[in-house]
Chain A
Amino acid sequence: MSSNINVSEIDKADKQPLPWSLWLRQIRAIFRLEIEKNFLGRRSILLYLLALLPILPLALLAPFTPPGREWQDFTQYSMIFAVYYGGLILRTVVFFGCAWIFMNLFRGDIVDRSLHFYFLSPVRREVLVVGKYSSGLVTSIILFTGTTVICMLLLYVPHFPSESARFFFDGQGLGQLLTYAGITILACIGYGAFFLVVGLFFRNPIIPALVLYGWEWLNFLLPPLLKKISVIHYLHSLTPIPVSEGPFAVVAEPTPAWIAVPSLVVVTVLVLIAASYRIRHMEIRYGSD
């Protein structure tokens, strides 16, 4: 048995300054394993239920037009969706969905006592972080962008079919739909990185997740400087229909998109670097975890 013969290709790749092709192959392999776990694993049931949560009430309302003046007026639907999206989809479903997916990327493997299989493979730990994070990202984007799009269509189309068709094909509808989908994707990117790190640093990640949840909900009360230390502030700045945050809200200038989007991406990269550092120095001691 000789390792030299069979790993010669990898050895050669390692002699290159940066073996990108090897890393990409490894990321693809990790991604495949993880995506199967995310979509088909035991833990995915809760995720599907969470993704269905905002769809279900709208699906039940689809055959009827609910009472209330705003439901009779098509022009109000943009505001109804903005409130529904901000309150239920973004702050609750995407937040807890990302918490579930990303915290389990490493924490789930520690609980299942299977993380060592990755640690015993010739993979740079940074590559492992990228592979796992990208699988979580794709899972969350598929599920929650899907939820966002379905919810918007379910709100508009059943009640005002012809107006909705004009709104989406000739009006601002498609632009708004894409903007909300984009905000959902950014939320998955930002929350995903945060929860991945939380899953690495905390034995019980629920507590920091709840602390962040409280921080994000109370964001409207915070002074402008503190508002900026949150994900929701940047996401809010991007919404196509601004929603009033109530009489007690501290008003702050929304951050322009050209700052909000790169800021979120840069912070995400920094958080992933912290995750890589942590995972590089991590020991496997399931007993103490």
Chain B
Amino acid sequence: MSDSEAKIKTESDKIRNSKFEIRNSEIIFDDVSKFYGEILGVNRVNLQIGPGITSLVGPNGAGKSTLMNLMTGLLRPTRGSVSLLGIPTDKPEALFRKVGYCTQFDSFPRGLTGREFIKSFLLVHGFDSQKADALTVTALERLNLLDAADRKVAAYSKGMRQRIRLAQAIAHQPAVLILDEPLNGLDPMVRAETIALFRKLAADGLHLIISSHILHEVDMMSDRVVLVNNGYVVAEGNIHGVRDEMEEQPMQILIRCDKPAKLAAHVFDEDSVVEARLHQDRLGLFVRTRDADSFYLLLNRVVAEGEINIESIAPADDDLNAVYGYLIGAEGGGS
């Protein structure tokens, strides 16, 4: 083998290895469809999800839970394949050493206390009793449930049941945590604590997949979002990136300044501006533009001329709420 051939071989090995590493560190949906008889669950889903917090967002019945159940093998794809960190979902014995799933099912095996519930399933995992005890205490502590650990789960409040399910999902210390509406039923204080816990887990390098219909919370905690509607993934990625790619929707920008009417006259010189509207307090101007970059150049010129004193410039619709409204619209109003 010549030097150049050897070099090419080394390079191709490197590429193959790096592809393998990526596959083994991501959650991959490869052209996945799921039909319930004639009814569409999800269709032609292609996703690659890395570490950090990824939120699945969409109206009720959009396909969020179907995606989560496909990820955990509770459902099998009609077409395509799903793998988590390189493990196919039809190998539960390998998959659930790395994955924890907190479902939406508010039901438990009968007669168990919180501690027994978590420990029993750690024993089913194969941990010995001593290790299972230690992991149980750690999980209960993380969810502030130690005081209630020896009460029957059936006597728990809705919020406590939600937390004990979360504790059970994280008890075996998985690398991927899938959480279906995990903040449901939690009071504001516990919500904040739980979001902080999710952030900490994500900072530790975990993959967190969260479905939620509370958009501002999703916006607050997610590194990226997957918007689902009618069984299709309509957008995915960093929320600002998703907004930037929606070129057909003019960008809304709020400019706080002392002379908004004068500024309005200036901005109409720009072809890309489709709308300018005074703020209610008459100390700001909403502008909708098809070309944010050239609009910002215009603002630079206005500032340089010194006629108008600009206090702040902020995009008014590159949050999840706006993106959700544009992509899913009134149909998803419920969410």
Measuring CB to CB, which residues of chain A are less than 8 angstroms from any residue of chain B? 1-3, 5-7, 9-11, 13-14, 22, 25-26, 28-30, 32-33, 36-37, 40-42, 109, 112-114, 116-125, 280-281, 283-286, 288
Contacts and interface: CB of A to CB of B under 8 A. Distances in A.
Contacts, number: 123
Nearest to B96: A122
20 contacts: A5-B173, A6-B172, A7-B173, A25-B123, A29-B124, A37-B111, A41-B111, A42-B110, A109-B109, A116-B105, A117-B108, A117-B121, A120-B74, A121-B121, A121-B125, A122-B93, A280-B90, A283-B69, A285-B75, A288-B36
Contacts of A280: 90
Given A14-B94, A117-B109, A119-B92, A1 B173 contact: yes
Interface in B178-195: none
B109 A114 contact: yes
Which A-B residue pairs are the 8 nearest by beta carbons? A29-B123, A113-B107, A122-B96, A284-B74, A29-B124, A121-B124, A122-B97, A124-B93
A121 B100 CA distance: 9
Max chain A Cβ within 10 angstroms of own Cβ: one of B75, B93, B120, B206: B93
B101 interface: yes
A120 B75 CA distance: 12
Contacts of A13: 126
Given A6-B135, A14-B94, A283-B69, 16 more contacts: A3-B172, A25-B123, A26-B125, A29-B126, A32-B123, A37-B110, A112-B107, A112-B109, A114-B105, A117-B121, A120-B72, A120-B74, A123-B96, A123-B125, A283-B76, A284-B74
Interface of B: 36, 69, 72-76, 90, 92-98, 100-101, 103, 105, 107-111, 120-121, 123-128, 131, 135, 168, 170, 172-175, 201, 204, 206
Contacts of A41: 110-111
Contacts of B109: 33, 37, 109, 112, 114, 117
Contact of B97 (A7, A40, A281): A7
Contact of A1 (B75, B123, B168, B206): B206
A22 B128 CA distance: 10
Contacts of B168: 117
Contacts of B105: 113-114, 116, 286
A41 B175 CA distance: 35
Contacts of B73: 119
B120 A29 contact: yes
Contacts of A116: 74, 103, 105
Nearest to A109: B109
B101 A26 contact: no
Contacts of B101: 120
Given A29-B120, A37-B110, A121-B92, A284 B69 contact: yes
